[in-house]
Amino acid sequence: MNGSNRPRVLWASRFGFVLAAAGSAIGLGNIWKFPYITGQHGGGAFVLVYLACIALVGVPILMAELLIGRQGRRDAVGCFAVLERPGSPWMIVGWVGVAASFILLSFYAVVAGWSFDYVVMAASGALRGRSPVEIEGLFGVLVSSPGRVIFWQGVFVVATVAIVLGGVRDGIERCSRILMPALFILLLVLFGRGLMSSGGVPALRFMFQADFSALTPQALLDAVGHAFFTLSLGAGTMITYASYLDPEADLGGLALRIALLDTLMALLAALTIFSVAFTAGIEPGSGPGLVFQTLPILLLELPFGSVLALLFFLLLAFAALSSSISMLEVTVAYLVDEKSWPRWRAAGLVGIAAFLVGVPSALSFNLWQDFKPFFGRTFFEACDLLVSSYLLPLGGLLVAIYIGWVWPRRHSLAELGAGRQQQRWVHSWQLLLRYVAPAAVIIVLLNQMGVFR
């Protein structure tokens, strides 16, 4: 029997879907990566370019993924069997998605595990009364302990599996209804605190005063790549989530809401982190260590610093969890829909597999840090490169080509509910999807392959 014969569980409400999809989008990408790449690329001008990439490349592809999922009503691979025919070559898009989201989950859990460890450190008072040098050193102590890192990676995977086991409505949606508002409130508290400190105004200036002379070609490429990552595109995630949508939902409106929430959270997180940094007179360009090393030092210098640090790492952990469940759901949905596996078996076994594949990534910071067989990269770096720089852009490119060029236009019009004034919108969307998005992604991919060097 094929799983598609069973009645499909749908989201309890569209708002629940928006929370879950925004939960997928809002993650380490927003709170850890966006602030540090914005810092490295000099602020304002990069922010503008990033916003343009979200609007011109991200939202059109997001809409295309929602369209595929809602129309196919199956997992990311099965959708193309429905929209085309079983065995269609387009099913490769789904396979790219399953591979990308699985590998992503394996190493995402490692970094997310660090945030769990920091939650415990902050809650137990281990951060209090330490000098800045000591706090900075805690990160090194953590990542160089294989046992500790693997333990928290495992805890994180177990938490992810536990939520996905509950199913779409009672697991993912219910959890998102708690995690997302909590996330928002935590971020607002920290943002308010940051803005009131003396670094608030310099942070606003850094983020919103564009100095285009600081912009490099690499910044443009990073902005496109990050737009993919932050909206969870190219990995079958949004296709899978949209397959649980009711047939009447307005996809354009939903896509806009998801993108707006994601962008809002990224901007708030960056402003918060920069205002704390500027208060302490630190330049925001300090790289990946910004969140785990610089930020705790700075937070602890503020009144109630250890509470603020606890709130911050809770925020990071929640954001990571609402993203990782969406990664796991892609493969679980595939096994449930195509192989008729019971959900518990799919979630359990995929979780164990993702954990095991993630162990070498956890070891990349300690025992295996000098083991670099992948063109001078550690296992962790190789996984990140494969997924973020190749698989996600490839998946997104194929989605854009499929909906832009292959899927009949009248179907898009019907699906997007365009009879009335919306025709114009759908037309602009199609132009972006047919020309702008593929061109941008192809340039990024060619650059990755070193064609421009």
Q: Which residues pair with 374 in a beta bridge?
A: 377
Q: Within a 10 A sphere around the Cβ of 152, how many other Cβ atoms?
A: 24
Identify whether the C-beta of residue 235 lies closer than 8 Å to the C-beta of residue 68.
Answer: no
Task: Candidates 68-76, 138-146, 152-160, 323-331: pick the segment binding ligand TRP (CB under 6 A).
Answer: 323-331
With binding defined as CB under 6 A, does residue 327 bind ligand TRP? yes
With binding defined as CB under 6 A, does residue 243 bind ligand TRP? no
Task: Candidates 27-35, 126-134, 146-154, 242-250: pick the segment binding ligand TRP (CB under 6 A).
Answer: 27-35
Q: Which residues in 411-440 contact ligand TRP (CB under 6 A)?
A: none
With binding defined as CB under 6 A, does residue 361 bind ligand TRP? no
Q: Residue 439 to residues 333, 433, 435: CA-CA distances in angstroms?
A: 31, 10, 6
Nearest distance, CB of residue 37 and ligand TRP, angstroms: 12
Q: How many CA atoms lie within 13 A of 314 on its CB side?
A: 19
Which residues fall within 8 angstroms of residue 405, CB to CB, at 6 or more apart?
Answer: 434
Q: What share of the chain is helix, strand, coil (3-state, %, to 5)?
A: 75, 0, 20
Nearest distance, CB of residue 28 and ligand TRP, angstroms: 4
Pick 230 or 272: Cβ nearer ligand TRP: 230
Q: Residue 329 to residues 160, 162, 224: CA-CA distances in angstroms?
A: 10, 12, 25
With binding defined as CB under 6 A, does residue 323 bind ligand TRP? yes
Q: DSSP assignment, residue 452?
A: T
Give how many residues touch ligand TRP by CB under 6 A. 17
Q: Which of 106, 115, 326, 412 binds ligand TRP (CB under 6 A)?
A: 326
With binding defined as CB under 6 A, does residue 232 bind ligand TRP? yes
Dihedral of CA atoms 99, 81, 242, 348 in degrees, nearest 10, equals: -50
| Sign of the Cα pseudo-torsion (434, 440, 446, 448, in order) | negative
With binding defined as CB under 6 A, does residue 237 bind ligand TRP? yes
Q: Within a 10 A sphere around the Cβ of 344, how many other Cβ atoms?
A: 13
Task: Candidates 251-259, 322-330, 406-414, 441-449: pick the segment binding ligand TRP (CB under 6 A).
Answer: 322-330
Nearest distance, CB of residue 118 and ligand TRP, angstroms: 17
Task: Candidates 6-14, 20-28, 126-134, 286-294: pick the segment binding ligand TRP (CB under 6 A).
Answer: 20-28
Q: Which residues in 62-121 contact ligand TRP (CB under 6 A)?
A: 101, 104
Using DSSP's 3-state secondary structure scheme, residue 377 falls into: strand
Pick 127 or 261: Cβ nearer ligand TRP: 261
* Residues in touch with ligand TRP (CB under 6 A): 24-25, 27-30, 101, 104, 229-230, 232, 235, 237, 323, 326-327, 392
